[in-house]
Amino acid sequence: MTRVAAVLNPVKVTDLPALKAAITERCDGVEPTWYETTEEDPGAGQAAAAIEAGAELVLVCGGDGTVAACAGALANTGVAMAMVPSGTGNLLARNLGIPLEVSEALDVAFGPDERTLDVLESGEQRFVVMAGLGFDAALMRDTDEGLKDRIGWLAYVGGMAKALRRTPRARFTVTLDDGPAETSKAIGVLVGNVGQLQGGITLLPDADPDDGQLDVIVLAPRTVRDWPALVWRILLRRPDSGRQADIRRGKVVHISAPVEVPVEFDGDFRGAATELRVEVLPSALVLRCGRP
């Protein structure tokens, strides 16, 4: 029998006893090893402990931050990860079609289908969805957490309005692989492993989490009239079809700005920085997620 460990975020899981009972039932009554995240450790330490204890499947029950932390610890170990999405965004789950309902998510978690995904790395930070400098990170910073818990992704609408007012344009320099450095005056740059954001908005339509590449989008609306055009192209899933945005692809990207700008990883605001270097760890994560 597969040795199962479950990493639980007690803040995000609404009914912990019920979830534990449902997981134990899927393990044929053999209770898995339980680990709970803390404010100081959102999942990496718990996933590492599960590997050390001999787990063959790590079931992650939490939001995007918990998923990213566990995925980073499991990268290149060969130990499979599965998810019971329990957050507001659940971006990796939504991008890969993993159900958000517990019973259906457990069907996938304990099913036979696995997919090998890329993991992105920036210094000591590993993530699986995307990172952003500028507007995207300001959106995460300015979205009210309490409101997000109550009304879900709609809370990002208010955060977007604040971020637009508080995010000045900056000169971002982007270097992909061994190519030339290109500088653009923009409101932000995002590096993605998958393409879909909150609310089903597709920002990187060709992003594929198992192609060994990362996608980079430079958001560069120049005038007030450019904003409706950019939004319209995003809704059409072709944000790079006009002058308001530019999408590039590669294996390593270095982004820099002359002043500190907000930074985020997988939807978690991480302060401010003047640069971001991201590289791909190809086929690093084994994930139970059904057929692509």
Kindly give, in sequence order, each residue whose CB lies less than 8 Å from that of residue 248, ignoring residues fewer than 6 positions away: 174, 176, 215, 216, 217, 218
pLDDT of residue 197: 74
Write the CATH number for 56.
Answer: 3.40.50.10330
pLDDT band at 153 (very low <50, low <70, confident <90, very high): low
Helices (H), the chain: 16-26, 44-52, 64-74, 91-96, 102-109, 135-142, 145-151, 155-166, 226-235
Asked if residue 131 and residue 258 are part of one domain, the reply reads: yes
Name the nearest CA neighbour of 94 among 24, 152, 25. 152
102-129: pLDDT as tens digits:
999 999 999 999 999 999 999 999 999 9
Asked if residue 272 and residue 157 are part of one domain, the reply reads: yes
Report strand pairing: 252-265 vs 268-288.
Answer: antiparallel
Report the pLDDT averaged over residues 256-277. Answer: 91
Query: 49 or 244: which carries more pLDDT confidence?
Result: 49
What is the rounded average pLDDT for all residues in the chain?
87
222-261: pLDDT as tens digits:
766 665 666 655 555 566 655 667 889 999 999 999 999 9
Asked if residue 159 and residue 16 are part of one domain, the reply reads: no
Q: Which domain holds residue 49?
A: 4-111
Q: Per the domain annotation, does 256 fall within a domain?
A: yes
Counting Cα atoms < 13 Å in the Cβ hemisphere of 71 gives 31
Q: In total, how many domains does the chain have?
A: 2
pLDDT of residue 239: 63
Alpha-carbon dihedral sign for residues 233, 261, 124, 63: negative
Q: Per the domain annotation, does 285 fall within a domain?
A: no
| pLDDT at residue 35 tops 60 | yes
What percent of the chain shows pLDDT beyond 70? 81
Report the pLDDT averaged over residues 4-12. Answer: 96
pLDDT band at 158 (very low <50, low <70, confident <90, very high): low
pLDDT of residue 290: 72
For residue 148, the SS3 value is: helix
pLDDT of residue 87: 84
| pLDDT at residue 72 tops 60 | yes
Q: Per the domain annotation, does 288 fall within a domain?
A: no
Report strand pairing: 80-85 vs 57-62.
Answer: parallel
DSSP characters over 28-76: TT-PPEEEE--SS-SSHHHHHHHHHTT-SEEEEEE-HHHHHHHHHHHTT
pLDDT band at 88 (very low <50, low <70, confident <90, very high): confident
Write down which residue in 111, 137, 166 finishes a domain. 111
What percent of the chain shows pLDDT beyond 90? 64
Q: Per the domain annotation, does 289 fall within a domain?
A: no
Alpha carbons 132 and 112: distance in angstroms, whole number: 34
